[in-house]
Amino acid sequence: MTFSDDRPTMIEFKDVHKYYGDYHALRGINGTIKAGEFFSLLGPSGCGKTTLLRTIAGFEDISSGVVMIDGKDVAGVAANARPTNMVFQSYAIFPHMSVAENVGFGLRRDPRPKAEKAKAVAEALEMVGLKGYGARAAHALSGGQRQRVALARALILKPKVLLLDEPLSALDKKMREHMQVELIKLQRQVGITFILVTHDQEEALVMSDRIAVMFEGEIAQLADPETLYRRPNSKKVADFIGTMNFIPAEVLSEAGDKVEIDAKGLGRVTIDASMAPPAHGESPVVGLRPETLTLLYDDQKPLERETDGVIDEVIYFGDMTYYDVYLGGTDVEVRLSMRNVPGRPVLEVGTKVRVAWSPSALVLFR
């Protein structure tokens, strides 16, 4: 995942702060977004992700710091003069206009002849899969169609950056998953930098080249999806992205790039220093994803380490089963996920089991 390393910078934040009265909405944002990147701002509601997006669009003035777009400081540059376009959460389709009038709205000041503009509108509609919808009334469209119109309307101006403010949150689950894939394809096709705001960690993982996880006005971690998932840099990020088991631990020794720990229920284990992000001054815990733990059947041998356990809860999902298991006679309970395959029956509560795990999957938070 080195996609973003060798690309020129499109957007740069330098110590960006935003106050609403006494409320400190953005608390020193730093970071860069690369040209052609699919970038996500991910966080719970109120974390400042939408505010940050709106500072790029020019809808919010920042209190201090610098926002650069394509090498230029955009302080004082109004929204209508920035090389960015936005897809709004409500889609903001102009209800009194036709689909074609909506899509062509940004071309009003374009000096090209009418016929060429009409062609551009038709092409934009075709790109989002709405060929032939131009004459329809905008207020008669479905949610998914509105979203496509909003996309076409923003992309027709060939912006350097497309800003997407929770564009999928109003769609149902099937439609949302479908649009995720379509958006990825569209982004590859047009090659424009996409910046997506979302509170849905799965959506961010699926769609993004890189993700900035935000809490309380700060970027907690900025990384590619795999790094975020496998090596979150704090317990908070680990908790927000996917499911993670946290097990109390004790750090025994640190030498070179190795850290030796004693994790309750798992025992002594040595992990790589890269799996121990900088300390936050919290009591140490190790994190383990449910899919890195495996139940062993009688005929199976562990690849690496093995711990005894007792099943406390069984949650059946059809393709998967989640088991909550007490580890090694302790009160430490972990959740693990198993694929349901033929010949491996779903186990019952109270069954004594063997749990296989790998030290390389452990992350230490402290």
Site residues, another protein (CB under 8 A): 57-59, 78-80, 84-86, 88-90, 92, 94-96, 105-106, 108-109, 139, 153-154, 157
If the CB atoms of residues 79 and 206 are measured against another protein, the closer one turns out to be: 79
DSSP for 283-331, please give it: PPEEEE-GGG-EEEPTT---SSEEEEEEEEEEEE-SSEEEEEEEETTSS
Q: Residue 131's Cα: distance from chain center in Å? A: 31
What is the rounded radius of gyration, in angstroms, for the C-alpha atoms of the chain?
25
Least distance in angstroms from the C-beta of 93 to another protein? 8
Least distance in angstroms from the C-beta of 329 to another protein? 57
If the CB atoms of residues 58 and 284 are measured against another protein, the closer one turns out to be: 58
Least distance in angstroms from the C-beta of 124 to another protein? 13
If the CB atoms of residues 120 and 223 are measured against another protein, the closer one turns out to be: 120
DSSP for 109-124, please give it: T--S-HHHHHHHHHHH
Q: How far is CA 186 from each of CA 38, 153, 235, rounded to the nearest angstrom?
A: 11, 14, 34
If the CB atoms of residues 166 and 209 are measured against another protein, the closer one turns out to be: 166
In the block, residue with structure tokens 């059809």 = 318
If the CB atoms of residues 110 and 226 are measured against another protein, the closer one turns out to be: 110
Least distance in angstroms from the C-beta of 183 to another protein? 19
Q: How far is CA 124 from each of CA 68, 91, 102, 185, 292, rounded to the nearest angstrom?
A: 28, 16, 11, 15, 44
Least distance in angstroms from the C-beta of 96 to another protein? 5
